[in-house]
Structure 1
Amino acid sequence: MEENKMTVSSPFGLHLVHLDLKGAPPKVSYLAEIFPLFRTLGANGLLIEYEDMFPYEGELKPLRAEHAYSASEIKEILNLAKLHKLEVIPLVQTFGHMEFVLKHQEFSHLREVEMFPNALNPHKEESLMLVNAMIDQVVALHDGLRWFHIGSDEVYYLGEGEESKQWLQKEENSTEKLCLSHMKAVASCMVSSHPEVKPIVWDDMLRGVSEETLTESGVAQLMEPMIWDYAPDLDEDDKVLLIEKYRKCGFPKLWFASAFKGATGANQSLTLIGHHLKNHLQWLKVANSTPADMLQGIALTGWQRYDHFSVLCELLPVGIPSLAVCLQALQNGAYSEKVKENVEKQLGLSSLEIDTFMSESSGTFPGSDIFTLVTQVCFYLKPSVDELLERNRYVTGWFSPYHRKRRIVHPIMMHHFQPDALSLLAKWNAVMQELQAALERVFYMCTLEEWMEENVHPSLHKLQEVVDDLDKAIQAQS
């Protein structure tokens, strides 16, 4: 552990960067470029949420995404992590957020509620067997694990399945007890199969449970809670009370989880650094009021989707300046001019904006071309197209939907906006090609297609259509 300790000003033993692979999973070649940067910026661990990117075998093979990492790629990622002194903690969901498993027909009978693929039915023995098989396969590919995150957050609709309703009719039973018993069963199996590995759980399902119920459940001896809150104004006193409650319930150790991106909107494309920095500064305050011997570390989450079915939020390269600021603030115990200068130097940024979105962004860090081009698209693509189509008086006055449908165009007016439309289309087509090439270096084709379809195509198609309609109208006149 000692070599992984951060500088004296950080209250955390481990600074984990969370890699959320359920959206836009990076190619291994890109991870090779950014792991050294993570280390330089102050990270000494990774929380890898594999989801459908793990090369599950046997009965679990259907869980693999089309482009899932191979076993040798996983080994390569782990070797790269080791090379840059980044301790790896895998994360596999075992209760809530099980869409990547329960969407498949082979496993749909294990849903808590028949219609919804999010939560696992805790009453079925097969549910536990499934979860254990997933954990065993992941552990088998990792050497020397000290922790394993078993997820368990946001177990929505728990207690609403038919078997649960029956079970809850007994007076002494409650949804809380149901939740704790499944978490305990998963952790117990893990501890007996892999005694050297300690389970970690997200803490939201534990927060509201009474001290008595939590203590009696016996979960405190088996797992370490990870308290998560991504708000810039998180309540420090509230957290201190929660930590005290967990201590009284017998949890000897715990973790915090902040967010450096992916927590400000399901379809957010750019990262507002100041929002995330404030979140980390609040966590530093909480850490300073926490018994030092309880605190294991902090995971800086970087969500890539809110859940398996939602759209992509900020791509990893776009969030790197925010990650850099947050890691450096943690390592230095505060944010200062020195931290700002250090981040600018490490990322090759001429000036770091934290209170607004960085508009003039360019840097030299891996993926900085994606950061620059995505910023350009987000700031200017839709506004420039809307400006032409909705506010250019020649388009709105002489080439309205009515005119376009009937292919009517005044020959004089055409000269007033055709050159603008063509040059705008040429400009954005060039940007799109550049962005496509940049994305292809870092991500798989499915990510590229998804990001382009969501963020580029709607505006570009509108522009292309007006140019095509203009051509048709001109041809109809001749």
Structure 2
Amino acid sequence: MAGPPAFKMRLVHVDLKGAPPKVSYLAQVFPLFHTLGANGLLLEYEDMFPYDGPLRLLRATHAYSPAEVQEILQLAAQSELEVVPLVQTFGHMEFVLKHAMFAHLREVPAFPNTLNPHEPQALALVGAMIDQVLALHPGARWLHIGCDEVYYLGEGEASRRWLQQEPNNRAALCLTHMKAVAGHVLTRHPGVTPLVWDDMLRDMAQEQLAASGLPQLVELVLWDYSADLDVHGKVLLMEKFQACGFRRLWAASAFKGATGASQALPPVEYHLHNHAQWLQVAGQGPTDALQGIVLTGWQRYDHFSVLCELLPVGIPSLAACLQSLLHGGFSDDVKTKVEKLLGLSSLDVADAVSKGPSSFPGSNILALVTQVSLHLRGSVDALLERNRYVTGWFSPYHRRHKLIHPAIVQYIQPEAISLLGRWSALARELEAALQCCFYPDAVEEWLEENVAPSTQQLQALLRDLSEAAGGTCWDPAQDPEVGGTWQPLPAEPPDAQDRCPRTQL
């Protein structure tokens, strides 16, 4: 390493609003995070926090208990990871505002995204959430209060009336609520500094931002997850924020969860480019302006979206990104070190093979998810769309009308049963691996979203074959592997042989 790391603080973001890990799995990965170069965690609890009293209905089915939160903090401390909790207080409030009890606090009645900043109960709500979270984090130095992507702000009836009055504008509406939340934190919890995502402030007039007083209350987290991040533009933005009075700034990159709402495998090269760009920003920006970086690992794009890359699957990307930050780049030597630390033959998802018991916690999930993501759909599509007996003798028309030449069954059914058996066995193995790390609802969701569509296609094909052939070919109740048996049929009839091309007739 040529010199000290560009970022003093390196926080791994653990997004708990989808597939929250069991505490037992966090106990395994926290030491690895430390070994890889992290010294902090940004815990985005959402509905996994054990809210109490009137807020108890915010809890997810498998929300952590207070004792489990304390255990998580102890495990983090043992691995020298400083914990920064995150509480959404403006945008991304779906997990709160979806409930009928709090629906009246929506900015726009039809959408649960954004809190209505004009409602006195709105500030009381987020204040109560903040107080409960910090009560279980007595040593916290920072609290992230979110405030990103505040969609539909200014579109509610109360906001429209307010905006009609001079000199009110949408920026002032945003700043007023942020100041109120930050003020609550600083008044009720001295010594805790609020962090705020920067996107709602980027385009605000410098004069208005400076005059608002917000720069004296919060520290900004500048986020950009793109591989082609505009380094010069980001440096100018840092200079603007500093000129407005923000004393400390943070960066936010991404190691997963930023390249597609339904992404299953993180593109490591993409995320490495993102971190390389942030290293350039740190080198070209104002001296010591960035005191830390948050490596975000989104688990859902929002409360209602599907799951993206699971935490175990994202660990190779996280390892590469953390090590690149520590070493100022990702040389061949750094790559070799990462592969050795993780016990992988390669960081390439298509080639990564576990080297044995020394592999990282959850490496079996990575291997199985890779099989599903790269091969399951393709193998089923090959049978349904490129097998000449399926396309030529058992088309959708044939399936709908239950028509098939009896001899054709043997050229479709064995392959379908074999495929279904292979993928059903892998799904059972993956389910068992996922259950070690995640709660039942997350396991069910991932398998239903990523495995079931393909296996259901195979099951439907086999059912249609059985019905078209008179119900004697496949009995779903008797197959020990996949729920079906097949009976061999006579050899291929002459009229099923390849014909000469029509041009030769």
Q: What TM bracket, shorter-length normalisation?
A: over 0.9
In 1: Cα distance, 2:399 partner to 2:85 partner? 55
Aligned to 1:301: 296
| AA partner of residue 187 (structure 2) | S
Alpha-carbon separation, structure 2, partners of 1:44 and 1:385: 44
* TM-score of the pair, normalised by structure 2: 0.91
Within the alignment, does 1:196 sit opposite 2:188 as a pair? no
| Residues 254-273 of structure 1 mapped to structure 2, 5 A cutoff | 254-273=249-268
Shift of 1:288: 1.1
**Structure-1 residue corresponding to 2:122:** 127
Over the aligned positions, Cα root-mean-square deviation in angstroms equals 1.4
How many angstroms does 1:412 deviate by? 2.0
| Contact 2:238–2:286 (8 Å) recurs in 1 | no
* AA at the equivalent of 2:23: V
Q: Which residue of 2 aligns with 1:109?
A: 104
- Aligned 8 A contact 1:403 1:409 in 2: yes
Once residues 407 and 324 of structure 2 are traced to their aligned partners in structure 1, the CA distance between those partners, rounded to angstroms, is: 60
Once the two structures are TM-superposed, the CA of residue 7 in structure 1 deviates from its matched residue by 9.3
Alignment of 1:56-205 (within 5 A): 56-205=51-200
3-state secondary structure, aligned to 1:257? strand
The answer to whether 1:235 aligns with 2:230 is yes
Alpha-carbon spacing, 1:7–1:101, altered in 2? closer, same or farther (3 Å): farther
Identity rate, percent: 63
- The more displaced of 408-417 and 329-338 is 408-417
**Inter-partner Cα distance in structure 2 for 1:149 and 1:477:** 63
Shift of 1:402: 2.6
Asked if structure 1 preserves the Cα contact closer than 8 Å seen for 2:344 and 2:352, the reply is no
Shift of 1:410: 1.8
Q: Which residue of 2 aligns with 1:333?
A: 328
- In structure 2, what is the Cα distance between the partners aligned to 1:426 and 1:69? 37
Shift of 1:267: 0.8
Equivalent of 2:350 in 349, 358, 362: 358
Per-residue deviation, 1:473: 2.8
Residues of 1 paired with 2:2 and 2:302: CA distance? 35
Distance across 1 between alignment mates of 2:465 and 2:37: 55
> Which residue is 1:3 aligned to?
none
Residue 210 of structure 2 is matched in structure 1 by 215
State the distance in 2 between where 1:126 and 1:268 align.
38
CA distance in 2, matches of 1:379, 1:61: 41
1:396 maps to 391
Distance in 2 separating the partners of 1:227 and 1:361: 36
- Residue 194 of structure 1 aligns with an amino acid whose one-letter code is H
Q: Secondary structure at the match of 1:207?
A: coil
Deviations 1:366-401 (A, max 9, x none): 111111111101111111111111110111112222
Counterpart amino acid of residue 42 in structure 2: L
- Tell whether the 8 Å contact from 1:9 to 1:333 is kept in structure 2 after alignment: no
Partner of residue 47, structure 2: 52
Tell me the distance in 2 between the aligned counterparts of 1:213 and 1:401.
63
Give the CA deviation at 1:359. Answer: 4.4
- Unmatched tracts of structure 2, length 5 or more: 474-505
| Alpha-carbon distance between aligned partners in 1 of 2:449 and 2:202, rounded to the nearest angstrom | 36
| Residue correspondence of structure 1 range 453-468 to structure 2 within 5 A | 453-468=448-463
Could you tell me how far apart the structure 2 residues matched to 1:432 and 1:292 are? Answer: 51
CA 1:434–1:112 in structure 2 vs 1: closer, same or farther (change >3 Å)? same
Return the alpha-carbon distance in structure 2 between the equivalents of residues 298 and 81 of structure 1: 18
Report the TM-score, using the length of structure 1 for normalisation: 0.96
Letter matched to residue 113 of structure 1: V
- Matched position secondary structure for 1:352: coil
Letter in 2 for 1:427: R
Q: d(CA) in 2 for partners of 1:241 and 1:477?
A: 73
Q: Which amino acid aligns with 2:219?
A: E
- Would you say the 8 A contact 1:362–1:371 is kept in 2? no
Unaligned runs of 5+ in 1: 1-5
Indicate the residue corresponding to 1:290 in structure 2.
Answer: 285
1:89–1:148 Cα contact (<8 Å) kept: yes
Q: Distance in 1 between matches of 2:252 and 2:462?
A: 49
Q: Does 1:428 align with 2:423?
A: yes
Say whether residues 1:42 and 2:37 are aligned partners.
yes
Structure 2 counterpart SS, 1:172: coil
Equivalent residue number for residue 376 of structure 1: 371
Q: In the aligned structure 1, how far is the partner of 2:405 from the partner of 2:222?
A: 65
> Structure 2 CA distance, aligned partners of 1:126 and 1:81?
34
Letter in 2 for 1:15: R
Partner secondary structure for residue 85 of structure 2: strand
**C-alpha distance in 2 between matches for 1:317 and 1:237:** 34
Judged with a 3 Å threshold, the aligned counterparts in structure 2 of structure 1 residues 7 and 167 are, in CA distance, closer, same or farther, namely: farther
State the Cα deviation string for residues 280-326 of structure 1 (Å, max 9, x = none): 00000111123343322000000001100011111111111000000
Aligned partners of 1:361 and 1:371 also within 8 Å: no
Residue 347 of structure 1: how far off its partner (Å): 0.6
Which amino acid counterpart does residue 218 of structure 1 have in structure 2?
G
State the alpha-carbon separation in 2 of the partners of residues 360 and 200 from structure 1.
37
Letter in 2 for 1:267: S
Query: Within 2, Cα distance between the matches of 1:48 and 1:205?
Result: 21
Structure 1 residue 467, shift from structure 2 partner: 1.4
Q: Distance in 2 between matches of 1:473 and 1:166?
A: 66
C-alpha displacement of 1:477? 7.2
CA distance in 2: counterparts of 1:288 and 1:313, whole angstroms: 32
Q: 1:15–1:43: 8 Å Cα contact kept in structure 2? A: yes
When residues 421 and 289 of structure 1 are mapped into structure 2, their CA distance, relative to the original with a 3 A threshold, is: same
Distance in structure 1 (CA, Å) of the matches to 2:471 and 2:335: 60
Query: Which residue type is aligned with residue 121 of structure 2?
Result: E
Contact 1:359 1:376 in 2 (8 A): no
Quote how far apart the aligned CAs of 1:340 are. 0.4
Name the count of aligned residue pairs.
Answer: 470
Report the CA distance between 1:406 and its aligned residue. Answer: 3.3
Q: 2:345·2:352 contact (CA, 8 Å) conserved in 1? A: no
SS at match of 2:443: helix
